[in-house]
Structure 1
Amino acid sequence: MTRWAGVPADQRKDGRREMLVGAGYRLFGDEGESALTVRAVCREAHLHTRYFYESFADTAQLLGAVYDEQAVALGDVLARAVETAEVSARTRAGVRGVLRFISDDPRRGRVLFADAPSLAARRRAAEQSLLDGLIAMSGRPRLGVLVAATMFTGAMTQLAQQWADGRLGTDLDAVVDTAVDLALALQTRATQPNVNA
Protein backbone atom coordinates (compact mmCIF):
# COMPACT_ATOMS: atom_id res chain seq x y z
CA MET A 1 0.00 0.00 0.00
CA THR A 2 1.12 3.56 -0.70
CA ARG A 3 0.59 6.56 1.55
CA TRP A 4 -2.15 7.79 -0.83
CA ALA A 5 -4.17 4.57 -0.92
CA GLY A 6 -7.84 5.29 -0.40
CA VAL A 7 -7.37 9.07 -0.47
CA PRO A 8 -9.48 10.91 -3.08
CA ALA A 9 -7.51 12.43 -5.97
CA ASP A 10 -8.15 16.08 -5.05
CA GLN A 11 -7.06 15.47 -1.45
CA ARG A 12 -3.93 13.66 -2.66
CA LYS A 13 -3.03 16.66 -4.82
CA ASP A 14 -3.70 19.11 -1.97
CA GLY A 15 -1.61 16.98 0.39
CA ARG A 16 1.32 16.84 -2.03
CA ARG A 17 1.11 20.59 -2.58
CA GLU A 18 1.21 21.16 1.18
CA MET A 19 4.26 18.90 1.45
CA LEU A 20 6.02 20.82 -1.33
CA VAL A 21 5.26 24.19 0.29
CA GLY A 22 6.58 22.88 3.61
CA ALA A 23 9.73 21.62 1.92
CA GLY A 24 10.19 24.92 0.12
CA TYR A 25 9.82 26.81 3.38
CA ARG A 26 12.43 24.68 5.12
CA LEU A 27 14.94 24.87 2.27
CA PHE A 28 14.53 28.58 1.60
CA GLY A 29 14.39 29.45 5.28
CA ASP A 30 17.49 27.44 6.14
CA GLU A 31 19.67 27.88 3.05
CA GLY A 32 18.28 30.70 0.89
CA GLU A 33 17.01 30.93 -2.66
CA SER A 34 19.89 29.00 -4.21
CA ALA A 35 18.74 25.86 -2.35
CA LEU A 36 15.29 26.05 -3.92
CA THR A 37 15.57 23.71 -6.90
CA VAL A 38 12.84 21.36 -8.08
CA ARG A 39 15.00 18.33 -7.34
CA ALA A 40 15.93 19.54 -3.83
CA VAL A 41 12.33 20.42 -2.98
CA CYS A 42 11.08 17.04 -4.11
CA ARG A 43 13.83 15.26 -2.23
CA GLU A 44 12.96 17.23 0.93
CA ALA A 45 9.25 16.49 0.46
CA HIS A 46 9.90 12.80 -0.39
CA LEU A 47 7.96 13.18 -3.65
CA HIS A 48 8.73 12.39 -7.27
CA THR A 49 9.50 15.44 -9.42
CA ARG A 50 6.38 14.87 -11.53
CA TYR A 51 4.29 15.87 -8.52
CA PHE A 52 6.00 19.23 -8.35
CA TYR A 53 4.58 20.22 -11.71
CA GLU A 54 1.02 19.26 -10.87
CA SER A 55 1.01 22.21 -8.45
CA PHE A 56 3.71 24.64 -9.59
CA ALA A 57 5.12 25.83 -12.90
CA ASP A 58 8.52 26.62 -11.36
CA THR A 59 10.30 27.37 -8.10
CA ALA A 60 9.33 31.06 -8.26
CA GLN A 61 5.69 30.02 -8.09
CA LEU A 62 6.47 27.71 -5.19
CA LEU A 63 8.28 30.53 -3.37
CA GLY A 64 5.20 32.68 -3.88
CA ALA A 65 3.09 30.02 -2.17
CA VAL A 66 5.61 29.81 0.69
CA TYR A 67 5.46 33.59 1.09
CA ASP A 68 1.66 33.64 0.98
CA GLU A 69 1.45 31.01 3.71
CA GLN A 70 3.67 33.05 6.03
CA ALA A 71 1.93 36.33 5.17
CA VAL A 72 -1.45 34.80 6.03
CA ALA A 73 -0.08 33.48 9.32
CA LEU A 74 1.32 36.91 10.17
CA GLY A 75 -1.99 38.48 9.20
CA ASP A 76 -3.75 36.19 11.66
CA VAL A 77 -1.36 37.35 14.40
CA LEU A 78 -2.15 40.98 13.61
CA ALA A 79 -5.89 40.35 13.43
CA ARG A 80 -5.85 38.88 16.94
CA ALA A 81 -3.72 41.78 18.17
CA VAL A 82 -6.17 44.46 17.04
CA GLU A 83 -9.21 42.87 18.63
CA THR A 84 -8.83 45.26 21.55
CA ALA A 85 -10.33 48.71 21.05
CA GLU A 86 -7.76 50.68 23.09
CA VAL A 87 -5.13 52.22 20.80
CA SER A 88 -2.10 51.80 23.07
CA ALA A 89 -2.87 48.14 23.86
CA ARG A 90 -3.64 47.43 20.20
CA THR A 91 -0.39 49.02 19.04
CA ARG A 92 1.65 47.15 21.64
CA ALA A 93 -0.01 43.84 20.82
CA GLY A 94 0.54 44.40 17.10
CA VAL A 95 4.23 45.29 17.37
CA ARG A 96 4.94 42.51 19.85
CA GLY A 97 2.96 40.01 17.77
CA VAL A 98 4.94 40.75 14.62
CA LEU A 99 8.34 40.59 16.30
CA ARG A 100 7.45 37.48 18.31
CA PHE A 101 6.17 35.78 15.14
CA ILE A 102 9.59 36.31 13.56
CA SER A 103 11.51 35.35 16.71
CA ASP A 104 9.63 32.08 17.11
CA ASP A 105 10.99 30.84 13.77
CA PRO A 106 13.67 32.99 12.08
CA ARG A 107 12.90 31.32 8.74
CA ARG A 108 9.70 33.37 8.67
CA GLY A 109 11.69 36.58 8.48
CA ARG A 110 13.91 35.19 5.75
CA VAL A 111 10.82 34.37 3.68
CA LEU A 112 8.88 37.57 4.38
CA PHE A 113 11.85 39.87 3.73
CA ALA A 114 13.54 37.92 0.96
CA ASP A 115 15.02 40.01 -1.81
CA ALA A 116 13.68 37.65 -4.47
CA PRO A 117 12.28 39.62 -7.45
CA SER A 118 9.39 37.16 -7.75
CA LEU A 119 8.13 38.29 -4.33
CA ALA A 120 8.23 42.07 -4.93
CA ALA A 121 4.57 42.39 -5.92
CA ARG A 122 3.48 40.23 -2.99
CA ARG A 123 5.45 42.37 -0.52
CA ARG A 124 3.90 45.54 -1.92
CA ALA A 125 0.43 44.02 -1.64
CA ALA A 126 1.07 42.96 1.96
CA GLU A 127 2.25 46.45 2.92
CA GLN A 128 -0.75 48.02 1.19
CA SER A 129 -3.06 45.66 3.06
CA LEU A 130 -1.51 46.72 6.38
CA LEU A 131 -1.83 50.39 5.42
CA ASP A 132 -5.47 49.94 4.37
CA GLY A 133 -6.22 48.24 7.67
CA LEU A 134 -4.63 51.06 9.69
CA ILE A 135 -6.59 53.69 7.78
CA ALA A 136 -9.83 51.75 8.21
CA MET A 137 -9.26 51.49 11.97
CA SER A 138 -8.67 55.22 12.25
CA GLY A 139 -12.13 56.00 10.95
CA ARG A 140 -10.87 59.49 10.10
CA PRO A 141 -9.06 59.61 6.78
CA ARG A 142 -7.64 63.12 7.29
CA LEU A 143 -4.32 63.92 5.66
CA GLY A 144 -2.45 63.77 8.98
CA VAL A 145 -3.84 60.32 9.71
CA LEU A 146 -3.10 59.09 6.18
CA VAL A 147 0.50 60.31 6.38
CA ALA A 148 0.98 58.83 9.87
CA ALA A 149 -0.45 55.46 8.79
CA THR A 150 1.81 55.45 5.74
CA MET A 151 4.88 56.27 7.84
CA PHE A 152 3.98 53.64 10.45
CA THR A 153 3.53 50.97 7.77
CA GLY A 154 6.97 51.65 6.31
CA ALA A 155 8.58 51.90 9.74
CA MET A 156 6.96 48.67 10.93
CA THR A 157 8.19 46.81 7.86
CA GLN A 158 11.73 48.07 8.44
CA LEU A 159 11.54 47.40 12.19
CA ALA A 160 10.51 43.80 11.58
CA GLN A 161 13.27 43.31 9.02
CA GLN A 162 15.94 44.79 11.29
CA TRP A 163 14.70 42.60 14.15
CA ALA A 164 14.79 39.53 11.90
CA ASP A 165 18.36 40.38 10.89
CA GLY A 166 19.41 40.66 14.54
CA ARG A 167 20.38 44.35 14.30
CA LEU A 168 18.22 45.52 17.23
CA GLY A 169 19.67 43.28 19.90
CA THR A 170 17.74 40.58 21.73
CA ASP A 171 15.65 42.53 24.25
CA LEU A 172 12.17 42.19 22.76
CA ASP A 173 10.53 44.22 25.53
CA ALA A 174 12.88 47.17 25.03
CA VAL A 175 12.33 47.18 21.27
CA VAL A 176 8.55 46.93 21.67
CA ASP A 177 8.45 49.69 24.31
CA THR A 178 10.48 52.05 22.13
CA ALA A 179 8.50 51.30 18.99
CA VAL A 180 5.17 51.76 20.76
CA ASP A 181 6.24 55.06 22.35
CA LEU A 182 7.25 56.42 18.95
CA ALA A 183 4.15 55.08 17.19
CA LEU A 184 1.81 56.59 19.77
CA ALA A 185 3.61 59.95 19.61
CA LEU A 186 3.13 59.94 15.83
CA GLN A 187 -0.51 58.95 16.19
CA THR A 188 -1.16 61.67 18.77
CA ARG A 189 0.42 64.34 16.57
CA ALA A 190 -1.50 63.13 13.51
CA THR A 191 -4.88 63.37 15.22
CA GLN A 192 -4.43 66.87 16.64
CA PRO A 193 -7.12 69.23 15.32
CA ASN A 194 -4.66 71.56 13.59
CA VAL A 195 -2.94 68.84 11.57
CA ASN A 196 -4.58 69.08 8.14
CA ALA A 197 -8.11 68.74 9.47
Structure 2
Amino acid sequence: MAVGVKMVRVAETRAQVRPYRGVDAAQRLADRRRRFIEAGLDLLGDTSQTPPPELTVRAVCRGAGLAARYFYETFADKDQFVGAVFDAVIAELATTTQAAVAAAPQTDQNRAGMANIVRTVASDPRIGGLLFNAQLSNAVVNAKRAESGVLLATLYGREIGVALKVGGDHTTRKGMATAHFAVGGVGQTISAWLAGDVDLSPDELVDQLAAILDEISQPRLYGGAES
Protein backbone atom coordinates (compact mmCIF):
# COMPACT_ATOMS: atom_id res chain seq x y z
CA MET A 1 0.00 0.00 0.00
CA ALA A 2 2.82 2.40 0.94
CA VAL A 3 4.56 1.66 -2.37
CA GLY A 4 1.39 2.49 -4.28
CA VAL A 5 0.96 5.82 -2.50
CA LYS A 6 4.61 6.66 -3.15
CA MET A 7 4.21 5.94 -6.87
CA VAL A 8 1.14 8.18 -7.07
CA ARG A 9 3.02 11.00 -5.38
CA VAL A 10 5.97 10.62 -7.75
CA ALA A 11 3.59 10.72 -10.70
CA GLU A 12 1.93 13.88 -9.34
CA THR A 13 5.30 15.54 -8.84
CA ARG A 14 6.37 14.73 -12.39
CA ALA A 15 3.09 16.10 -13.71
CA GLN A 16 3.69 19.38 -11.84
CA VAL A 17 7.22 19.91 -13.17
CA ARG A 18 7.01 18.58 -16.71
CA PRO A 19 6.66 21.10 -19.55
CA TYR A 20 3.15 21.83 -20.82
CA ARG A 21 2.93 23.04 -24.42
CA GLY A 22 6.61 23.91 -24.24
CA VAL A 23 6.29 25.97 -21.03
CA ASP A 24 7.95 24.60 -17.89
CA ALA A 25 6.28 24.57 -14.48
CA ALA A 26 8.28 27.45 -13.01
CA GLN A 27 7.39 29.70 -15.93
CA ARG A 28 3.71 28.75 -15.69
CA LEU A 29 3.71 29.58 -11.98
CA ALA A 30 5.41 32.92 -12.63
CA ASP A 31 2.92 33.73 -15.39
CA ARG A 32 -0.06 32.93 -13.17
CA ARG A 33 1.41 35.04 -10.37
CA ARG A 34 1.89 37.95 -12.77
CA ARG A 35 -1.72 37.66 -13.97
CA PHE A 36 -3.00 37.62 -10.39
CA ILE A 37 -0.88 40.65 -9.48
CA GLU A 38 -2.21 42.58 -12.48
CA ALA A 39 -5.79 41.65 -11.60
CA GLY A 40 -5.19 42.74 -8.00
CA LEU A 41 -3.78 46.07 -9.15
CA ASP A 42 -6.81 46.58 -11.39
CA LEU A 43 -9.14 46.06 -8.42
CA LEU A 44 -7.20 47.73 -5.60
CA GLY A 45 -6.18 50.69 -7.76
CA ASP A 46 -9.70 51.33 -9.08
CA THR A 47 -10.75 54.86 -8.12
CA SER A 48 -13.96 54.91 -10.17
CA GLN A 49 -16.05 53.90 -7.15
CA THR A 50 -16.12 55.60 -3.74
CA PRO A 51 -15.45 53.79 -1.54
CA PRO A 52 -13.76 51.07 -3.63
CA PRO A 53 -15.61 47.72 -3.63
CA GLU A 54 -14.44 44.98 -1.29
CA LEU A 55 -11.76 42.78 -2.79
CA THR A 56 -12.82 39.13 -3.24
CA VAL A 57 -10.93 36.07 -4.43
CA ARG A 58 -13.67 35.46 -6.97
CA ALA A 59 -13.18 38.92 -8.49
CA VAL A 60 -9.40 38.46 -8.57
CA CYS A 61 -9.72 35.10 -10.33
CA ARG A 62 -12.21 36.52 -12.80
CA GLY A 63 -9.86 39.40 -13.60
CA ALA A 64 -6.89 37.06 -13.99
CA GLY A 65 -8.87 34.54 -16.02
CA LEU A 66 -7.73 31.73 -13.73
CA ALA A 67 -9.43 29.19 -11.48
CA ALA A 68 -9.55 29.68 -7.71
CA ARG A 69 -7.33 26.62 -7.16
CA TYR A 70 -4.48 28.45 -8.85
CA PHE A 71 -4.96 31.39 -6.51
CA TYR A 72 -4.51 29.18 -3.45
CA GLU A 73 -1.54 27.45 -5.06
CA THR A 74 0.10 30.85 -5.35
CA PHE A 75 -1.01 32.69 -2.19
CA ALA A 76 -1.84 31.42 1.30
CA ASP A 77 -4.78 33.79 1.66
CA LYS A 78 -6.20 37.11 0.50
CA ASP A 79 -4.09 39.20 2.87
CA GLN A 80 -0.87 37.67 1.55
CA PHE A 81 -2.09 38.38 -1.96
CA VAL A 82 -2.81 42.05 -1.24
CA GLY A 83 0.63 42.39 0.34
CA ALA A 84 2.21 40.84 -2.75
CA VAL A 85 0.42 43.30 -5.04
CA PHE A 86 1.58 46.27 -2.98
CA ASP A 87 5.15 44.97 -2.68
CA ALA A 88 5.38 44.42 -6.44
CA VAL A 89 4.21 47.95 -7.20
CA ILE A 90 6.36 49.71 -4.59
CA ALA A 91 9.44 47.68 -5.57
CA GLU A 92 9.08 48.67 -9.22
CA LEU A 93 8.51 52.32 -8.34
CA ALA A 94 11.48 52.35 -5.95
CA THR A 95 13.73 50.75 -8.57
CA THR A 96 12.85 53.20 -11.33
CA THR A 97 13.04 56.18 -8.97
CA GLN A 98 16.45 55.17 -7.64
CA ALA A 99 17.68 54.73 -11.20
CA ALA A 100 16.38 58.17 -12.18
CA VAL A 101 18.03 59.78 -9.15
CA ALA A 102 21.34 57.98 -9.71
CA ALA A 103 21.45 59.14 -13.34
CA ALA A 104 20.93 62.81 -12.44
CA PRO A 105 23.50 65.35 -11.21
CA GLN A 106 23.33 65.88 -7.46
CA THR A 107 21.66 69.27 -7.84
CA ASP A 108 18.86 67.73 -9.93
CA GLN A 109 18.28 64.53 -7.98
CA ASN A 110 15.20 65.71 -6.07
CA ARG A 111 13.60 66.77 -9.33
CA ALA A 112 14.50 63.49 -11.02
CA GLY A 113 12.97 61.45 -8.21
CA MET A 114 9.76 63.50 -8.08
CA ALA A 115 9.44 63.46 -11.87
CA ASN A 116 9.60 59.68 -11.96
CA ILE A 117 7.02 59.25 -9.19
CA VAL A 118 4.57 61.83 -10.53
CA ARG A 119 4.81 60.61 -14.12
CA THR A 120 4.39 57.00 -13.03
CA VAL A 121 1.18 57.62 -11.09
CA ALA A 122 -0.09 59.96 -13.80
CA SER A 123 0.49 57.39 -16.54
CA ASP A 124 -1.03 54.49 -14.58
CA PRO A 125 -3.93 55.61 -12.35
CA ARG A 126 -4.01 52.15 -10.75
CA ILE A 127 -0.64 52.78 -9.12
CA GLY A 128 -1.75 56.15 -7.81
CA GLY A 129 -4.93 54.57 -6.47
CA LEU A 130 -3.10 51.78 -4.68
CA LEU A 131 -0.39 53.94 -3.15
CA PHE A 132 -2.18 57.22 -2.50
CA ASN A 133 -5.99 56.87 -2.63
CA ALA A 134 -7.24 57.93 0.81
CA GLN A 135 -10.58 56.18 0.18
CA LEU A 136 -8.92 52.77 -0.03
CA SER A 137 -9.35 51.38 3.49
CA ASN A 138 -7.88 47.90 3.05
CA ALA A 139 -6.08 47.05 6.29
CA VAL A 140 -3.15 45.32 4.57
CA VAL A 141 -2.66 48.25 2.19
CA ASN A 142 -2.72 50.72 5.09
CA ALA A 143 -0.12 48.67 6.95
CA LYS A 144 2.04 48.42 3.83
CA ARG A 145 1.81 52.17 3.25
CA ALA A 146 3.05 52.82 6.77
CA GLU A 147 5.81 50.23 6.39
CA SER A 148 7.01 51.64 3.08
CA GLY A 149 6.87 55.18 4.46
CA VAL A 150 9.27 54.28 7.27
CA LEU A 151 11.60 52.56 4.79
CA LEU A 152 11.58 55.50 2.38
CA ALA A 153 12.17 57.96 5.22
CA THR A 154 15.14 55.90 6.42
CA LEU A 155 16.65 55.80 2.95
CA TYR A 156 16.05 59.50 2.35
CA GLY A 157 17.53 60.35 5.74
CA ARG A 158 20.71 58.51 4.81
CA GLU A 159 20.82 60.30 1.47
CA ILE A 160 20.64 63.66 3.23
CA GLY A 161 23.67 62.78 5.34
CA VAL A 162 25.65 61.50 2.37
CA ALA A 163 24.78 64.45 0.14
CA LEU A 164 25.60 67.08 2.77
CA LYS A 165 28.66 65.24 4.12
CA VAL A 166 27.56 65.95 7.67
CA GLY A 167 27.68 63.61 10.62
CA GLY A 168 27.01 63.33 14.32
CA ASP A 169 24.09 61.89 16.20
CA HIS A 170 22.21 65.18 16.49
CA THR A 171 22.58 65.86 12.77
CA THR A 172 21.45 62.33 11.94
CA ARG A 173 18.32 62.74 14.06
CA LYS A 174 17.59 66.05 12.34
CA GLY A 175 17.96 64.35 8.98
CA MET A 176 15.52 61.60 9.96
CA ALA A 177 12.97 64.15 11.15
CA THR A 178 13.24 65.94 7.82
CA ALA A 179 13.02 62.66 5.92
CA HIS A 180 9.77 61.66 7.62
CA PHE A 181 8.40 65.14 6.95
CA ALA A 182 9.38 64.90 3.29
CA VAL A 183 7.98 61.40 2.69
CA GLY A 184 4.72 62.16 4.48
CA GLY A 185 4.34 65.54 2.81
CA VAL A 186 5.03 64.22 -0.68
CA GLY A 187 2.58 61.36 -0.18
CA GLN A 188 -0.17 63.66 1.10
CA THR A 189 0.39 66.17 -1.71
CA ILE A 190 0.24 63.51 -4.42
CA SER A 191 -2.87 62.06 -2.80
CA ALA A 192 -4.54 65.48 -2.86
CA TRP A 193 -3.39 66.06 -6.45
CA LEU A 194 -4.86 62.77 -7.62
CA ALA A 195 -8.12 63.60 -5.82
CA GLY A 196 -8.29 66.92 -7.68
CA ASP A 197 -7.68 69.09 -4.61
CA VAL A 198 -4.37 70.42 -5.97
CA ASP A 199 -4.81 72.12 -9.33
CA LEU A 200 -1.40 71.74 -10.94
CA SER A 201 -0.16 70.09 -14.12
CA PRO A 202 2.22 67.14 -13.66
CA ASP A 203 5.20 69.35 -14.54
CA GLU A 204 4.07 72.07 -12.14
CA LEU A 205 3.65 69.51 -9.38
CA VAL A 206 7.15 68.17 -10.01
CA ASP A 207 8.54 71.72 -9.90
CA GLN A 208 6.81 72.46 -6.61
CA LEU A 209 7.78 69.22 -4.87
CA ALA A 210 11.38 69.44 -6.08
CA ALA A 211 11.66 73.05 -4.90
CA ILE A 212 10.39 72.09 -1.43
CA LEU A 213 12.78 69.14 -1.17
CA ASP A 214 15.68 71.30 -2.34
CA GLU A 215 14.87 73.84 0.37
CA ILE A 216 14.67 71.32 3.21
CA SER A 217 17.95 69.76 2.05
CA GLN A 218 19.93 72.93 2.74
CA PRO A 219 23.00 72.36 4.99
CA ARG A 220 21.98 75.17 7.35
CA LEU A 221 19.15 72.99 8.67
CA TYR A 222 21.60 70.36 9.87
CA GLY A 223 24.40 72.42 11.34
CA GLY A 224 26.47 72.40 8.15
CA ALA A 225 27.86 75.36 6.23
CA GLU A 226 26.15 76.73 3.15
CA SER A 227 27.61 75.34 -0.03
For Structure 1 versus Structure 2, the TM-score category normalised by the shorter chain is 0.7 to 0.9
Ranges in structure 2 where 5+ consecutive residues have no aligned partner: 1-19
Verify: 1:185 aligned to 2:185, yes or no. no
2:181 aligned residue (126, 151, 154) = 151
91-100 or 22-31, larger mean C-alpha shift: 22-31
Contact persistence 2:154–2:176 (CA under 8 A): no
Contact persistence 2:97–2:117 (CA under 8 A): yes
Distance (whole Å) between structure 1 residues aligned to residue 96 and residue 179 of structure 2 = 19
Distance (whole Å) between structure 2 residues aligned to residue 120 and residue 175 of structure 1 = 25
Match of 1:123 in 2: 145
2:158 aligned residue (136, 153, 158) = 136
Output one character per residue of 1:42-91: Cα deviation in whole Å (capped at 9) or x when no partner.
12211111111101233322221111111011101220222146443001
Verify: 1:73 aligned to 2:89, yes or no. no
Identity level (%)? 32
Distance (whole Å) between structure 2 residues aligned to residue 151 and residue 27 of structure 1 = 30
Distance (whole Å) between structure 2 residues aligned to residue 16 and residue 67 of structure 1 = 17
1:16 aligned residue (32, 43, 55) = 32
Distance (whole Å) between structure 1 residues aligned to residue 54 and residue 89 of structure 2 = 19
Ranges in structure 1 where 5+ consecutive residues have no aligned partner: none
2:205 aligned residue (175, 182, 188) = 175
Contact persistence 1:66–1:111 (CA under 8 A): no
Larger radius of gyration: 2
Distance (whole Å) between structure 2 residues aligned to residue 18 and residue 85 of structure 1 = 31
62-71 or 8-17, larger mean C-alpha shift: 8-17
Contact persistence 1:148–1:190 (CA under 8 A): no
- Number of corresponding residues: 192
Q: How high is the TM-score relative to the length of structure 1?
A: 0.85
Instruction: Map 1:56-71 onto structure 2 (within 5 A).
Output: 56-71=75-90
Contact persistence 2:122–2:202 (CA under 8 A): no
Match of 2:17 in 1: none
